[in-house]
Amino acid sequence: MPVTAKLSRKFYEKLGDEVANELVEWFNLVDATYRSDLKELNELNFARFDAKLEQRLAELRTELQAEMQAGFARVDRRLAELETRLTKRLFGFWIAQSATTVALVFGVVRLMRG
């Protein structure tokens, strides 16, 4: 929102209307130029900031993805180890149960013949 420069009545009386108006126009022109330059500078700085932010976000995504893949690989390995242990234990349990069942059958058969 531009601010138009105004001079006091004393300036107009001392310098005359023409010179005072030229001075006001010059102030307003300088103000508009500075505002335009400042706007361009702000836009340029924002574009740089935005580019850096995008780059850092991309780096963060890549880093997080690598960490997640490593974490999932560890979880997969641990689950495979757990599966192996459980399979061994279940197989041992099945063998023990089978042996107990066979011994009971032989014991019952022996008692019946006996």
Which pLDDT tens digit goes with each residue over 51-95?
Answer: 999 999 999 999 999 999 999 999 999 999 999 999 999 999 999
- Say if 113 falls within a structural domain: no
**What was the pLDDT predicted at 5?**
64
pLDDT of res. 104: 96
Residue 7: name the closest of 25, 26, 20, 22 by CA: 20
Asked if the structure places residue 39 within a domain, the reply is: yes
Pairwise CA distance, residues 3 & 31, whole Å: 8
In this structure, is residue 35 part of a structural domain? yes
Q: Look at residues 33, 34, 27 and name the one whose alpha carbon lies nearest to residue 7.
A: 27
Q: What's the confidence (pLDDT) of residue 3?
A: 53
Q: How confident is the model at residue 16 (pLDDT cuts 50, 70, 90)?
A: confident
Query: Given this model, what pLDDT does residue 4 score?
Result: 62
Number of domains in the chain: 1
Give the global pTM: 0.54
- Residue 112 within any structural domain of the chain: no
Long-range interactions of 57-65: CB distance < 8 A, separation 24+ = none
Q: By residue range, what is the domain housing residue 65?
A: 9-81
What pLDDT does 24 receive? 86
**Does 71 fall in a domain?**
yes
In a domain, 94, yes or no: no
pLDDT of residue 13: 83
- Specify the pLDDT at position 1: 54
13-20's contacts with Cβ under 8 Å and 24+ in sequence apart are none
Per-residue pLDDT, averaged over 6-24, amounts to: 83
pLDDT of residue 114 exceeding 80, the answer is: no
